[in-house]
Structure 1
């Protein structure tokens, strides 16, 4: 277990640069996920074997490898009918336990691109569970499981037993139902006869049987889609309204399969595996690997086909229903050249679905018993953990990919595994949170890396190759990086309508924690104003001139505290037991968009809703701040408009120069 001194985040003044090639060094207050390598420690340049790419470009056919994607099902028509028939009765319960989008997402079908999967798998490092790109690390995270997959991060373990006799009797009925499937012609406990037995049967355990089918086909599948008895307790708990943390279990299975695939690729390209010309090596991947392909599409713009427009309230993953992959000749070289087009926070464009985490302003969120459920879920996504799956335990290291959460990146420190037993690993996942407050960045903020991170990355991962050559030759664009277009209808050099803007204005304000009074305030940046006087109190940097403090009270959460009973917050005086979600969190906001935006937020807090004369830039900020329940199409329109305006400005600047 972690010690009480463990903290998840830290803030300090650093020299920062962009992870792409268009930034000048900037001295500012940066925020980091811990642990990072201390400054007084010598930098040891490790070269784990997994860091090295495959010795040659892998060809699945030449490599004589057949991969069975058991977790990539085609949704049967009968299943879709069952979902529709259960929807009206159980949708409120599904939303209560946070599996509604995961279930509704099973109605979609995703076309497989094996070349893309093999290409991205070559970049996998099984020692860190991250992809190693020429410019930085990235990985599929719990945030992706929650937003893309619709799986809950909070809840009890997937191994929670059935405690009461009532629940055990339900399990016995499910076992009897499974035995019925064995008497069919297939003589196997297959899903199709299971659905025939229970679908619209009116049995008292039909909902549990439905959830068993969902878990067996889409969440924890095995070959031939057999009914799995190991998921019976999970289905029973969910049917009774008990939240189960499916996200860490699903992500653990994806990590496991990625490591298996990467090792197989390495062995085949190095001729470690003895396979004759007539034979094929069989490899079964049982995790929902389609989530990996969609993760790539969401972040690597050059590999992204045109997504579909979805209705407000539809699962985000529906954008990729039956979307055909782009025909890419050499996926590996395209991935290596996509530095300027990597999207660190693709879901920020859909801010209306996650208002608190993808807010317009940066903020410090106090971690007390009034913490909102949504914020707690994203905090869990940002801290190191052990992921307990049905049959595996994988380490989770978000501090290595902090830019995916809008947090700056420093050299990641080493983490000791706590996975002796399944119970020990799970207790580490639900350990108390010891931070007094957590920094949540603005959805418009572009995170950077420290200069020592650049040097470390070159030395430890890329050797003598320089992935950030000419790093400081060109100043970063004020809002967005260039995007490559696959839409013939778009003007040359401009993105098609479905592209998203990935960045906005830089910050001119910083939020710093106070000293003994523990006050939080918004301070003008000395690097923007020319003022450099800084006072230090109790290890925290305090700027001398303090501006107005903006406070924001978050929306009331109606989730009962018992639903998050596995998680606890901690203070210096001990653990606060259950999380009370009936109260509103008090949030202090830090503007990282513009001073005009800060002024507007202050006017709203003081009740001044009067109109202000604004410039074109101010209008653009206000437009992007709209937070009503708009459709995804409107969110994408706003971001696209920002992107196109930025393109015009850059083209004009280049022509003038």
Structure 2
């Protein structure tokens, strides 16, 4: 193989076969800057600027029990933030609240927003890797997460619609009648087993001087082609049937998914298992890690971080996949949640309410909804693996009408949101020092306010993470959260690396009180209850005006010229027109 750098018309690497460099067509890949996290880690003072000495405080407050509405003055634990002012906003715009006036679902795009898809032989390949290379997956701390990709995940569209109606992109939280709730890093860790603490995840194509070894790259390979090239075992699973739109009220007989029980003794290798290695002239001593790396590239694109175009293996995943195949652990929960927050932001602020080009791992959102809103049928057998597997399978999502879906969120039980389970009676004081366990490292990252970051194919994605806004999910008493001092949505690679380092920084000597077992519903302060009642009313009033505008557009025949809404361009004039809250196509 011959590798050459090129700077015109854009930075790229050109790859040609060594046999006949002139006749064989070359492959040109766009090159992006590499993140030098080792150098950034020396700037510890900058990273510590977002940290505080105490992440929790014990105070005496007037509290309110949301179940009985009874107030009392007691000592409570509050979760603090380093990124928010004391003064709190009282007005929030929920961009999609006007969907409530439309009374119908939007049109689902072919991409399904990045939802994990079925590909022939992918499940068989996944079982083969789990069965024969479990040691590598355990070393990289992704065994449970890889196992979770053995299934499909669905969600009732009316439930998802209400989720988007209540999603606030300025806070990255759901605005419900009982307060704010959200998807946390701890949720991602528990739902699908993705590690929080680990190496910096970045997707890039390095220049030729950064490449090590004779690796063969190709750009934009279809996942179906990739799987068929690398996996030579027999096909055992058929594609799930087309999804039915019927109102399902009873549990289906079949999930059309694998059982999840993987036994290596039942997975003999095919005779032509070594064919890809022979074609690529890969030495025998590195075939195992090459095979696992090829699978992990596919897994990253199909399940972990679908991005932009679905159904293709991104060449930019090869570096991370190769290092994972050597047992290195990467921080995957952070970029995944950053992608989810950005995807929900894109969907909730889209100018086209009926179609969205947002691509992100929305199946994690389905798992979160199933976990906390009980929207799925219970599995017939005890699921094997991470929590999310309980909500897997075709047609396993219950049917909800729009009004029923809204009732789910209006009647949400805060006690069901608790997602930290430690076996101790009272609060525990944990210090972020050298002796801290990996579990508590993850917990510190999950409970600290920070900026989530993702560097993928040259795209810089940053989203604010504010766990103190939904601290009841961790057993804390909920107080008024304050306002975000600075919103960052994108930045340079250098700054993004610093944000990631600050998010995952350990050894800060900061302290955190972790609440003990909570037997009753999480409390809120009286101040929070009053503030949220005002916020909820203000938001409803503002969004009601939007709904009224949708339901009562100007009468273009009888109204004056000043009141008429005219299209800005000819293209706008050809767009569908909203009449009475229904989009007319």
- TM-score of the superposed pair, with normalisation by structure 1: 0.59
Structure 2 counterpart of 1:83:
126
Correspondence list, 1:37-56, <5 A: 45-50=89-94, 53-54=97-98, 56=100
Q: Deviations over 1:201-250 (max 9, x none)?
A: 43322111111111111112243411101211110121122211111111
1:15 and 2:100 matched: no
Structure 1 counterpart of 2:41:
none
Structure 1 counterpart of 2:498:
424
**CA distance in structure 2 between the aligned counterparts of 1:65 and 1:87, rounded to whole angstroms:** 33
Which residue, out of 385, 400, 403, partners 1:314?
385
Correspondence list, 1:96-107, <5 A: 96-107=139-150
> Would you say the 8 A contact 1:67–1:285 is kept in 2?
no
**CA distance in structure 1 between the aligned counterparts of 2:182 and 2:200, rounded to whole angstroms:** 23
Question: Runs of at least 4 residues of structure 1 off by over 6 A?
Answer: 36-39, 160-167
**CA distance in structure 1 between the aligned counterparts of 2:118 and 2:96, rounded to whole angstroms:** 38
Structure 2 counterpart of 1:296:
369
Structure 2 counterpart of 1:209:
294
Q: Structure 1 residues 291, 38: closer, same or farther in 2, change over 3 A? A: closer
Which residue, out of 476, 480, 484, partners 1:415?
484
> Would you say the 8 A contact 1:132–1:138 is kept in 2?
yes
Structure 2 counterpart of 1:570:
none
**CA distance in structure 2 between the aligned counterparts of 1:152 and 1:58, rounded to whole angstroms:** 40
**CA distance in structure 1 between the aligned counterparts of 2:358 and 2:54, rounded to whole angstroms:** 36
Correspondence list, 1:126-141, <5 A: 126-141=169-184
**CA distance in structure 2 between the aligned counterparts of 1:464 and 1:393, rounded to whole angstroms:** 26
1:337 and 2:410 matched: yes
Q: Structure 1 residues 431, 464: closer, same or farther in 2, change over 3 A? A: closer
1:27 and 2:100 matched: no
> Would you say the 8 A contact 2:90–2:538 is kept in 1?
no
Alpha-carbon distance, 1:113 to partner: 1.9
2:202 counterpart SS class: coil
> Would you say the 8 A contact 2:448–2:467 is kept in 1?
yes
Structure 1 counterpart of 2:26:
none
**CA distance in structure 1 between the aligned counterparts of 2:524 and 2:511, rounded to whole angstroms:** 22
Which residue, out of 199, 223, 235, partners 1:191?
223
Correspondence list, 1:233-244, <5 A: 233-244=319-330
Structure 1 counterpart of 2:512:
438
> Would you say the 8 A contact 1:408–1:449 is kept in 2?
yes
Q: Structure 1 residues 7, 366: closer, same or farther in 2, change over 3 A? A: closer
Correspondence list, 1:356-505, <5 A: 357=422, 359=424, 361-389=426-454, 390=456, 391=459, 392-417=461-486, 420-421=491-492, 422-432=496-506, 434=508, 436-446=510-520, 447-463=522-538
Alpha-carbon distance, 1:140 to partner: 0.8
**CA distance in structure 1 between the aligned counterparts of 2:151 and 2:162, rounded to whole angstroms:** 24
> Would you say the 8 A contact 2:376–2:396 is kept in 1?
no
Structure 1 counterpart of 2:6:
none
Gaps of 5+ in 1: 180-187, 270-280, 352-356, 467-657
2:149 counterpart SS class: helix
1:111 and 2:172 matched: no
> Would you say the 8 A contact 2:176–2:409 is kept in 1?
yes
Q: Structure 1 residues 304, 425: closer, same or farther in 2, change over 3 A? A: same
- TM-score of the superposed pair, with normalisation by structure 2: 0.66
Larger RCO, structures 1/2 (Cα 8 Å, 6+ apart)? 2
Structure 2 counterpart of 1:255:
341
RMSD: 3.2
Q: Deviations over 1:42-68 (max 9, x none)?
A: x5653132388326434455x566463
Which residue, out of 208, 215, 223, partners 1:173?
215
Corresponding pairs, count: 428
> Would you say the 8 A contact 2:92–2:539 is kept in 1?
no
**CA distance in structure 2 between the aligned counterparts of 1:415 and 1:37, rounded to whole angstroms:** 6
Q: Deviations over 1:4-51 (max 9, x none)?
A: 655322211112212x23242232221111139999x6x565313238
1:235 counterpart SS class: helix
**CA distance in structure 2 between the aligned counterparts of 1:166 and 1:82, rounded to whole angstroms:** 33
**CA distance in structure 2 between the aligned counterparts of 1:285 and 1:369, rounded to whole angstroms:** 41
Gaps of 5+ in 2: 1-46, 233-272, 278-286, 542-585
